[in-house]
Amino acid sequence: MKMSYHHYVLDAAGEPQLCDDMAVWTAWWGTTDRKIAEDTHNDITVSTVFLGLDHNYGSKGPPLLYETMIFGGGHDGDCQRTSTREDALKMHDMACYLALPPKVEIDPAAEYEDAMAGKEILEGLK
């Protein structure tokens, strides 16, 4: 049975391809991992997925095939949809910046040395 409801699958390179065969799309949907990116900190998760359906219901503009959503925290439920994988990854990074604490690697030894240097400067001002 052929249908044209703007269903998409990802090809071997991860690029969206229009799929007008509902049986093919359903088989693909049931066996694929659609997750593009996911980051979690404590009870907050930022998730970006390939939707498999065009969520641009107004039909103007490119298809909206990817969704980035925030679960938990002050931005719980915030959602943005994009057309390309590249834009989806950028949106994911922006959502992480908005919802999650910054990813900063801390070197305890360097932190201690900086603290001691600061202490010496403060003591010299007394």
To which residue do tokens 């915030």 refer? 78
Distance separating alpha carbons of residues 113 and 115, to the nearest angstrom? 5
State if pTM tops 0.95: no
Residue 56, pLDDT above cutoff 80: yes
Q: What is the pLDDT of residues 110-122, one digit of tens each?
A: 656 656 665 555 5
Q: What is the pLDDT of residues 66-120, one digit of tens each?
A: 999 999 999 999 999 999 999 999 999 999 999 998 776 666 666 566 566 655 5
Confidence of residue 123 (pLDDT cuts 50, 70, 90): low
Strand (E) or helix (H) holding 21: strand 16-21
Confidence of residue 57 (pLDDT cuts 50, 70, 90): confident
Domain map of the chain by residue range?
A: 2-125
Q: Specify which residues 50 forms β-bridges with.
A: 66
The answer to whether residues 108 and 114 touch, using CB atoms and an 8 Å cutoff, is no
